[in-house]
Amino acid sequence: MRSLKKTKIVCTIGPVTESVETLKELLNRGMNVMRLNFSHGDYEEHGMRMKNFRQAMSETGIRGGILLDTKGPEIRTMTLKDGKDVSIKAGQKFTFTTDQSVVGDNERVAVTYENFAKDLKVGDIVLVDDGLLELDVTEIKGNEVICIARNNGDLGQKKGINLPNVSVNLPALSEKDIEDLKFGCQNNVDFVAASFIRKADDVRQVRKVLRENGGERIQIISKIESQEGLDNFDEILAESDGIMVARGDLGVEIPVEEVPCAQKMMIRKCNRAGKVVITATQMLDSMIKNPRPTRAEANDVANAILDGTDAVMLSGETAKGKYPLAAVEVMNKIAKKVDATIPPFYVEGVINKHDITTAVAEGSADISERLNAKLIVVGTESGRAARDMRRYFPKANILAITNNEKTANQLVLSRGVIPYVDASPKTLEEFFVIAEAAAKKLNLVENNDIIIATCGESVFIQGTTNSIKVIQVKA
């Protein structure tokens, strides 16, 4: 019988992992979703990676999902003299200007955001290059923001700028983001990770672009990367299909000691809502250069799983690192070990108000624990029935039988869910027969194992799940 991890792995694909052969190896070692970071690369590169990934899936027989991660709205430094970094000394005065004709030096630099001086006030903090350079705002003069540097550091051109606790009026989508979303629709991606989501309307704007370009079934994973995103988390979650706990920029925007509590809060709320959650950034960061992770990194991955995350993500480890295959293998081993320790019904107070589909999911999960079932099989068109079941952290794996390829691709991201496409069942009895047959075919059960199967009388009609059957596997 197959031994499967429940927690899913998202791998960022870059130059070192884009070949068909390497992608096949990543799939075989535990990758579930390919992430393409649209902050880097061009359409030709990303298109080639999608083509290679689909070929790798076809040749291995392993299903995976494709996630397009947008660059998002951002503020960056502009041109410096001769393109060279400049040295900033602690205590020195330094000026940011919105006059984009300025060529920067060690006293001033232009920024890409035209409302920079309008949004800031005296006493605010400006962070450059992931917080490596910190400056205090001491004066606003027209289109200039005059600061005092807190520390020594080098300032380069095109470096990111963060403004902690400042509500910036950047658009939710840049022109590049809109074109990237259109490209994603044309190439049938499964997920969009929308960067720097600050409020619910940002998500609605992303969904509008997707719908206008034939991508209405693409799921939106909102990346929470600022205090404003945390403040508006509940409304963002309601509009999103899932959340990415984007700890990189979040750890710059809010005090680093607050990030663990924010992570736990977001994962808990996603679990209760039945929406997917990815924990990301620096999970096995040292494996970019080293063949083994630090103990702290191994604990970080384990603790995200114990928090209840659906997926853990690798960034530079697989995009540009020396040991991409080893990183996935380490993550896979940690997931298998820790998954087995999570008790069922982990999230308290999941259900406030029952509807039939949710009540059937809760009942099925309960029965599976009482009977020590090896597998729960759900019929689902949209994926909701499987995600409802996943909320209860059952010990049994969840086999989601669907008639929709897109739904199957998206369910690879949900914890403990194994998607399987079969559009043939038309009645409940036909579904129950196929449930047992598929479980055997996939080597998920053995003789005399218990399967809990659940579906609706109208098979694959969203929101109709109302039936449960206990099946004992026969040879």
Residues 427 and 415 in one domain: yes
- How many residues does this entry show for the chain? 475
Residues 61 and 91 in one domain: no
Indicate whether 18 belongs to any domain: yes
**Displacement of CA 159 from its chain's centroid (Å):** 24
* Cβ contact 197:233 at 8 Å: no
Q: Which CATH number belongs to the domain containing residue 229 in this structure?
A: 3.20.20.60
Residues 148 and 242 in one domain: no
User: What does the block give as tokens for 229?
Assistant: 């995103």
Tell me, what's the pLDDT at 154? 94
Classify strands 133-141 and 144-149 as parallel, antiparallel or unpaired.
antiparallel
Tell me, what's the pLDDT at 2? 64
Which of these is catalytic: 17, 281, 309, 358? 281
Which of these is catalytic: 223, 275, 387, 415? 223
Residues 232 and 121 in one domain: no
User: What does the block give as tokens for 197?
Assistant: 């989501």
d(CA 215, CA 74): 24
Residues 259 and 334 in one domain: yes
With 0.85 as the threshold, say if the pTM is over it: yes
Residues 213 and 144 in one domain: no
Tell me, what's the pLDDT at 346? 52
Residues 442 and 325 in one domain: no
Which of these is catalytic: 35, 207, 247, 387? 35
* Cβ contact 124:177 at 8 Å: no
Residue finishing a domain among 339, 364, 391: 339
Place of tokens 């720097």: 196
Confirm whether 204 is a catalytic residue: no
Instruction: Please list the ranges in the chain whose pLDDT falls under 50.
Output: 347, 352
Residues 195 and 123 in one domain: no
Residues of the chain with pLDDT > 90: what percent?
88
Indicate whether 350 belongs to any domain: no
Tell me, what's the pLDDT at 416? 97
User: Which bin fits 196, alpha (ψ -120 to 50), beta or left (φ > 0)?
Assistant: left
| 338: three-class secondary structure by DSSP | helix
d(CA 46, CA 349): 42
Question: In the chain, what are the helix, strand and coil shares in percent, each to the nearest 5?
Answer: 35, 25, 40
Confirm whether 35 is a catalytic residue: yes
Q: Which CATH number belongs to the domain containing residue 149 in this structure?
A: 2.40.33.10
Q: Which CATH number belongs to the domain containing residue 373 in this structure?
A: 3.40.1380.20
Residues 284 and 316 in one domain: yes
Tell me, what's the pLDDT at 355? 77
Indicate whether 345 belongs to any domain: no
d(CA 438, CA 472): 14
What's the N-to-C CA distance of the chain in angstroms? 14
* Cβ contact 25:326 at 8 Å: no
* Cβ contact 187:53 at 8 Å: no
What single string gives the DSSP state of each residue in 7-54? Answer: SEEEEE--TTT-SHHHHHHHHHHT--EEEEETTSS-HHHHHHHHHHHH
* Cβ contact 1:444 at 8 Å: yes
Indicate whether 422 belongs to any domain: yes
Indicate whether 45 belongs to any domain: yes
The pLDDT tens digits of the residues spanning 323-356 come to 999 999 999 999 999 999 998 865 455 554 567 8
Range of the domain at 400: 356-472
Buried b (16+ CB within 10 A) or exposed e, 416-434: bbbbbebeebeebeebbeb
Residues 331 and 184 in one domain: yes
User: What does the block give as tokens for 425?
Assistant: 């069942």
User: What does the block give as tokens for 141?
Assistant: 């003069």
Confirm whether 84 is a catalytic residue: no
Confirm whether 223 is a catalytic residue: yes
| 343: three-class secondary structure by DSSP | coil
Residue finishing a domain among 123, 141, 162: 162
A 10 A CB-CB count for 221 gives 26
Residues 313 and 384 in one domain: no
Place of tokens 């998954």: 339
Among the residues of 61-148, which ranges form H helices? 116-119
Indicate whether 401 belongs to any domain: yes
Residues 80 and 68 in one domain: no
The pLDDT tens digits of the residues spanning 392-409 come to 999 999 999 999 999 999
Which of these is catalytic: 76, 176, 182, 406? 76
d(CA 307, CA 270): 11
Indicate whether 12 belongs to any domain: yes
Question: 442: which DSSP letter?
Answer: T
Tell me, what's the pLDDT at 29? 97
Question: Structurally, how many domains does the chain consist of?
Answer: 3
d(CA 398, CA 438): 12
Residue finishing a domain among 311, 339, 367: 339
Indicate whether 344 belongs to any domain: no
Tell me, what's the pLDDT at 360? 86
